[in-house]
Structure 1
Amino acid sequence: MTALLTRPDDESVRPDPVEALRPPSDREATLLGRGMPADRLRGWIVALVITVIGGVVRLQNLGWPTDKGTPVFDEKHYVPQAWQMLRNGGYEDNYGYELVVHPPLAKQLIAIGEWLFGYDGWGWRFLPALAGTLVILLTVRIARRLTRSTLLGAIAGILVICDGVLHLQARMGMLDIFIALFVLAAFACVLCDRDQVRQRLAVAVREGWATESVWGPKLGFRWWRFGAGLMIGLTFGVKWSALYYIFAFGLLTVFFDVAARRAAGVERPWLGTIRRDVLPALWAIMVIPFLMYLGAFWAWFASETATDRNYVAIKDIAPGFWGWVPASLRSLGDYSMNVLHFHETLVTPKDNPHPWESKPWTWPMGLRPMLYYYQGGAEATGCGQSTCVRATMLIGTPAMWWLALPMLGWGLWRSIFRTDWRYIAVLVGYLAGFLPWFTNIDRQMYFFYATPMAPFLILGLTLVLGQILGSARRGFERRGTGLLVVALYVGLVVANFAWLWPVLNGNAITNDQWQAEMWLPSWR
């Protein structure tokens, strides 16, 4: 689709098809960089095939395990709430339960699966499994865009399939896999927006009016940036941790815009970005997510009996300065403050800590995984011995997670000393899911909070593999050696995932095999 640009005098300009035939200038080449691979159809076929394979892996035996037909671990919070929503038309109303501490969107999605398949493991896990499958597709396409390589996109998809965290979280009726999906979708939109901005500026450079104003040209409506705001808004409708991505991706788009205007030869790229881009970016990345957040409560607003729907009336709270705000919005505000208080005071009891709690500094390498389900002794059968073990444990595949710190170190070096925008983008996504948890160390925290970090870890590793693989222009021997190293590494990841398979899926194993699966003392 032809991009619509505007000159500084607001005159609409479309690219001249004759001018488009002229070879690109050096500045245009800098703006456009390395183009996307020409094998567009093959790229989609590869992505879809890998996604289908990953979907089969995610969906197999999805209904197991359960606790005698009931949810396991934190499914016990969200699955019944989703069932309430299915009964009530989209909202929770169980005042006896009173642990409604997250926005409703993910629970509404879980309710769709319960509507389709009933109140069983398949029902409450179907939409998370679908979300986990879409994470595979998005990662393949994002990796292909970052590396300009269909092969590396395919490798990224295989790594996603073989990650224990993304695998198990896609098979649990919990919220975090939806965060990973929507954050990754927002990230994809930000990358597409970057490429689109550069294409539009390249047109202005080609036609000779990119520098007619010291601010640079206006870039028209940016649909991909708008899409990023929608995706962050969906994330906001799942958990409040989306706030961190609002700031992270907002800053990332500003960085991309400044870099693009500088590459186009704009005299004042920073001021040009502030003048031309910041206000639309605030609208897209901040205002739209907030509106989407309110929209996630559509059923709550439409009801009269949803949890805390009439909070200000029941508690007889004087409106004061906020009297001009509708009572429903004031009730949502007070309800939100109660939720915030819950999270701020959810601290670890010093005399009774949760056995599987972990702190964020252990997450990059997955040093403290989580046991979701355990059945041992005579009750567990199927391993060929009198006593067996059936367990599911959230473990990040060590062949990937144990390389997190080297990946971060290399990514920081490339970002600082080579200004490699690809690593900058991936690190922004990774650190937005990691660093904010250090603001309140006393709070109870668990390894599954690291779920949104997993796709960015894999994207970072894929960038490193791309450098190891090298370019075909470097010669057959260099390319062949790189290909061998990459193939051996991917084989190691697949073998590692296969080894962990029994404890990721609750298969029956002997006690000796269970002990062999526990590689570190901190895993026990």
Structure 2
Amino acid sequence: MTQLTDERPAPTVTTSTVRPAPRWPDASFGPTDTKRGWIVTLVVTAIAAISRFVMLNYPTDAGTPVFDEKHYAPQAWQVVTGGGVEDNPGYGLVVHPPLAKQLMAIGEAMFGYDGWGWRFASAVAGTVLVLLVVRITRRLTRSTMIGAIAGLLLIADGLTFVSSRIGMLDIFTALFVTAAFGCLIVDRDDVRLRMARVAVEGRIALTPFGPRHGVRWWRFGAGVCLGLACGTKWSGLYFVAFFGVLCIAFDIAARRAYRVERPWVGALRRDLLPALWALLVVPVLVYLATYGPWFASETGVERHAVGSKIGTGGAFGFIPDALRSLWYYSSGVLEFHEGLTNSAGNHHPWESKPWTWPMGLRPMLYYYADGPDVSGCGGSECVKAVMLIGTPALWWVAVPVLGWALWCTVVRRDWRFAAVLVGYAAALVPWFFSLDRQMYYFYAVAMAPFYVMLVAMALGQVIGKARAGKERRSTGLLAVCLYLGVVIANFAWLYPILTALPISNHLWHQQLWLPSWR
């Protein structure tokens, strides 16, 4: 290679026009095919409704609820017949907040005390959950197609499918936390749109802290949804904490993106207190509102604990008696849950721990019947079962999907994967801090919407961006369609043991793929 010397003429420099990068981020959010987006959403939601409502009243235990429906269906019926208040004579207290039972009571008031009645609200919640996942994923990816893929994956997920067809609580928790997440995503876009308007008007630099945003109704909506989640199960508190951090992170990122001089201080000064109001105070108020019938009652469990079980004075005597009674009642519920530990001798044959949930390695048997009274399979030995199983073709790819999501978050700085991972982590990580407690796979229902979003976004990257070559996108689309086909086929294979259709004993054992499924 020839070396340059001082005597060598200087090289000729070719000048070109350098275009500066845009000063502000793109202020356009979401796909523009609004009409097509809603048509696709409603079609996918209709498919979800059909799958959730067909044979909804089957099976029952001789006309009575199955598994833990035996707790919640009678409590919901007490809401119908007892002035909106439920109790639990078997345990002496009600171990979860009232909202899910109140929603189940609507179905029982409409259809009576039967399978349709105590499962109707669950099926509605499972159907609406699919709609939310389609719309949230569509907004995250700016693609109607990827949103539809997410909806189809959720439809074919055995975990949410069974949870949508049984009168238990977790499908409602999943619905409300997903709705809260969706509100925060819309709020993020709305804040950036407001920042873009301020930037165009030249007001960004008027203060080093950036502009105030005024009333943020979507964040308020997130607070309402989180309050409803806590009014269903106390595990909603985990999402309050995780989503609160996510909201502040969104605010800091928005101020940084629009070159606010002091974005961190600006977010703390301008956004922190409103965020605490929307995501802490509002959920508390909504949670208390779910106890409205209990406050109004005279016979609710521990309604008048003040004066009978606890004193009327003391350091907390200034607090209204009704709230002190609710606190006493809740402390009893907490004591009950704290006593459900393995070390205290509480064991269940279908118990599972959180490290098994991401791949659904330890499902749960909700219903089982065999013997001479079971027929309809075309043979002499028939089995009917309902097992809570996450579709393996979907859940068994959790390790690469989560690995890819972490890569996109840490290396690519993709906020979309980061945001969904926050929701996924809120549903999973806190349970690792109480491993001695009894736990079950149905706790993972709240993970499912966020996991499906991660899978759909990863599949969207397999398809490729719009500017990718036609051959590249066609190949990616083919691969994604094949994978969707495998998931749906796997779901169809499991369908008999998700719905208690009669099958032969031989086929029943063929359905149990892993030793941990037995």
**TM-score relative to the length of structure 1:** 0.93
Over 3 Å counting, the alpha-carbon distance change for 1:76 and 1:269 in structure 2 is same
Q: Which of 457, 475, 483 matches 1:489?
A: 483
Matched residue, 2:515: 521
Q: 2:188, 2:226 → 1: CA distance?
A: 17
Partner of 1:116: 110
Listed as ranges, the gaps of 5+ residues in structure 2 are 1-19
Give the residue type in structure 2 aligned to 1:366.
Answer: G
Q: Give the distance between the partners of 2:345 and 2:426, measured in 1 at CA.
A: 32
1:97 shift after superposition = 4.2
Partner of 1:51: 45
Contact 2:30 2:140 in 1 (8 A): no
- For 1:317-466, list aligned pairs within 5 A: 317-348=311-342, 353-466=347-460
**How many correspondences in the alignment?**
499
Aligned to 1:150: 144
- 1:208 partner SS: coil
- Greater Rg by CA: 2
CA contact (8 A) 2:93 2:301 kept: no
CA-to-partner distance for each residue in 1:391-443, whole Å, 9 max, x for gaps?
00000001111111221111111111111110011000000000111111110
Write the letter of the residue equivalent to 1:362: T
What is the DSSP-based 3-state SS (H/G/I as helix, E as strand, rest coil) of the residue aligned with 2:137? helix
Q: Distance in 1 between matches of 2:192 and 2:29?
A: 11
The residue type paired with residue 198 of structure 2 is A
CA distance in 2, matches of 1:319, 1:509: 64
1:297 and 2:291 matched: yes
For residues 364 and 92 of structure 2, the distance between their equivalents in structure 1, rounded to whole angstroms, comes to 25
Cα distance in 1 for residues equivalent to 2:88 and 2:257:
57
Match in the other structure for 1:27? 23
Kindly state the Cα deviation for residue 472 of structure 1 after the two structures are TM-superposed: 2.4
* Offset of residue 219 of structure 1: 1.1
Q: TM-score, normalised by structure 2?
A: 0.94
Moved more, 304-313 or 94-103: 94-103
* 348-357 or 234-243: bigger deviation: 348-357
Distance 1:270 1:92 in 2: 47
Distance in 1 of aligned mates of 2:325 and 2:310:
11
Cα 1:316–1:201, aligned 2, differ >3 Å: closer, same or farther?
closer
In the alignment, which residue of structure 1 is the partner of 2:17? none
* Alpha-carbon shift at residue 204 of structure 1 (Å): 1.0
Residue 89 of structure 1: SS of its match in structure 2? coil
The alpha-carbon deviation at position 135 of structure 1 amounts to 0.4
Tell me if the contact between 1:390 and 1:509 (Cα under 8 Å) persists in the aligned partners.
Answer: yes
Displacement, 1:352? 6.3
Q: Is the 8 A contact 1:93 1:305 kept in 2?
A: no
Q: Determine the C-alpha separation between the residues in 1 that align with 2:374 and 2:89.
A: 37
8 Å CA contact 1:407, 1:460 repeated in 2: yes
User: Contact between 2:158 and 2:498, CA under 8 Å: does it hold in 1?
Assistant: yes
**1:265-280 map, 5 Å:** 265-280=259-274
Is 1:203 matched with 2:197? yes
Residues 447-478 of structure 1 deviation map (CA, whole Å, 9 limit, x = unaligned): 00000000001000011001100012111111
User: Is the contact between residue 232 and residue 285 of structure 1 (CA under 8 Å) also seen in structure 2?
Assistant: yes
Cα distance in 2, alignment partners of residues 151 and 145 from structure 1: 11
% identity of equivalent residues: 59
For 1:315 and 1:163, locate their aligned partners in 2 and report how far apart those are by CA, in whole Å.
47
Other-structure match for 2:226: 232
Distance 2:54 2:235 in 1: 30
Q: Which amino acid aligns with 2:70?
A: K
Deviates more, 1:295-304 or 1:35-44: 35-44
Distance across 2 between alignment mates of 1:351 and 1:220: 54
Does residue 214 (structure 1) correspond to residue 208 (structure 2)? The answer is: yes
Q: CA deviation at 1:318?
A: 5.0
Please report how far the alpha carbon of residue 324 of structure 1 lies from its aligned counterpart in structure 2 after TM superposition: 0.7
Distance across 1 between alignment mates of 2:308 and 2:345: 36
Residues of 1 paired with 2:315 and 2:152: CA distance?
55
Runs of 4+, deviation exceeding 2 Å = 93-97, 316-319, 348-353
Q: Deviations over 1:201-226 (max 9, x none)?
A: 01111111112211001111111001
Aligned to 1:4: none
For 2:214 and 2:248, the matched residues in 1 are separated by 16
The whole-number CA distance in structure 1 between the counterparts of 2:399 and 2:168 is 28
Output the amino acid matched with 2:371.
G
Contact residue 348 and residue 354 of structure 1 kept, 8 A: no
Q: In the alignment, does 2:179 pair up with 1:185? A: yes
The secondary structure found in structure 2 opposite 1:324 is: coil
99, 104, 113: which one pairs with 1:105? Answer: 99
TM-aligned CA distance change 1:76 to 1:99, over 3 Å: farther
- The answer to whether the 8 Å contact 1:215/1:273 transfers is yes
Distance across 1 between alignment mates of 2:346 and 2:260: 60
What is the CA deviation profile of residues 474-518 of structure 1, one whole-angstrom value per residue up to 9, with x for unaligned ones?
111111111011111111111010011000000000011101100
Report if the CA contact (8 A) 1:176-1:448 is conserved. Answer: yes
- 1:27 maps to a residue whose letter is R
SS in 2 for 1:442: coil
Query: Counterpart of 1:311 in 2: which secondary structure?
Result: coil
**Aligned-residue RMSD, C-alpha:** 1.4
- On the 8 A contact 1:27/1:263 being kept in 2, the answer is no
Given the alignment of the two structures, is residue 256 of structure 1 paired with residue 250 of structure 2, yes or no?
Answer: yes
Amino acid at match of 1:467: Q
> Corresponding residue for 2:77?
83
Larger mean CA deviation between 54-63 and 308-317 belongs to 308-317
For 2:504 and 2:49, locate their aligned partners in 1 and report how far apart those are by CA, in whole Å. 28
- Deviation track 1:70-107 (CA, whole Å, cap 9, x = no partner) reads 11111111111111111112112454542401110000
Matched, 1:38 2:32: yes
2:289, 2:466 → 1: CA distance?
Answer: 49
AA aligned to 1:299 is: P
The amino acid of 1:118's aligned partner reads G
Matched, 1:68 2:62: yes
